[in-house]
């Protein structure tokens, strides 16, 4: 990512995107404001400035993707972020979702398994360090989470999970919320919101189908 001019026409495209997201059913004003505030074109190559405000996923380095804005808004809305929430994100990717969470006042702990993507995370500090000092990046396997920094108020998985990883569930606070797309087939995931009850069991809510890149085991050096 890099900071480039946030030209007037890009701000305009962003407003259009917010309007589209509203039409598609995103209703949380704070989430819409976050989308309006964070320049998504910072997270893509400058050649793609205009495309950055189309509501679609886009390839980034290491064969990964920046999630579709609707997906980011949808997952963020389900998380019900409150200022100061400790949030664990699995799948840093482009850092766009990370920035949206931070702009809602979350303390974000985000894990990426692709070394090439993790190596770009210093750029976040350059661009957003002053604005969002409470973001920490980790190179590791998201299936393991961050046991030393647990428990978390919220956990968001931004890759297609084969199941709900037990270590992550254990790192969620009671009354905490996990938003996770779980495989229904090889290509489609069901978005779930799991709220941890006092007895450690989950209240399970099921939403639409989405399509994510897979959550993979271990770390990649490539």
Residues that bind ligand SAH (CB under 6 A): 64-67, 72, 90-91, 93-94, 96-97, 111-114, 117, 141-143, 158-159, 213, 215-216
Are 60 and 94 in contact by the 8 Å Cβ rule? The answer is yes
Identify whether 94 is a catalytic site residue: no
Half-sphere exposure of 140 (CA within 13 A, CB side): 15
Nearer residue to ligand SAH within complex by CB, 134 or 201: 134
The span from the CA of 84 to the CA of 94, in Å, is 23
Distance from C-alpha of 20 to C-alpha of 159, rounded to nearest angstrom: 24
Catalytic residue among 27, 67, 103, 185: 67
User: Residue 17 CB, nearest distance to ligand SAH (Å)?
Assistant: 15
Q: How far is the CB of 128 from ligand SAH (least distance, A)?
A: 14
Find the shortest distance in angstroms from Cβ 144 to ligand SAH.
8
Smallest separation, CB 217 to ligand SAH (Å): 6
- Measured from the CB atom, the residue of 13 and 215 that comes closer to ligand SAH is 215
In sequence order, which ranges of 105-177 are alpha helices (DSSP H)?
115-118, 122-128, 166-170
Helix (H, G, I), strand (E, B) or coil at 124: helix
Distance CA 131, CA 113 (A): 26
- Which CB sits closer to ligand SAH, 117 or 179? 117
Residues labelled catalytic: 67
């Amino acid at each position: 990512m890099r900071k480039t001019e946030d030209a007037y026409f890009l701000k305009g495209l962003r407003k259009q995107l917010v309007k589209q997201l509203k039409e598609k059913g995103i209703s949380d004003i704070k989430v819409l404001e976050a989308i309006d505030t964070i320049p998504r074109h910072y997270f893509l190559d400058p050649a793609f400035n205009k495309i950055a405000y189309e509501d679609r996923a886009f390839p980034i380095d290491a064969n990964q993707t920046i999630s579709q804005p609707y997906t980011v808004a949808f997952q963020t809305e389900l998380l019900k972020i409150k200022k100061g929430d400790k949030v664990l994100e699995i799948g840093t990717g482009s850092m766009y979702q990370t920035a949206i969470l931070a702009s809602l006042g979350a303390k974000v702990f985000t894990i990426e398994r692709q070394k090439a993507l993790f190596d770009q995370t210093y750029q976040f500090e350059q661009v957003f360090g002053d604005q969002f000092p409470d973001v920490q990046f980790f190179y590791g396997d998201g299936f393991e989470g961050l046991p030393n920094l647990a428990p978390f108020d919220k956990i968001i998985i931004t890759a297609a999970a084969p199941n709900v990883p037990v270590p992550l569930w254990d790192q969620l606070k009671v009354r905490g919320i996990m938003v996770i797309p779980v495989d229904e087939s090889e290509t489609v995931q069901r978005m779930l919101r799991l709220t941890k009850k006092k007895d450690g069991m989950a209240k399970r809510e099921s939403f639409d189908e989405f399509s994510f890149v897979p959550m993979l085991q271990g770390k990649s050096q490539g």
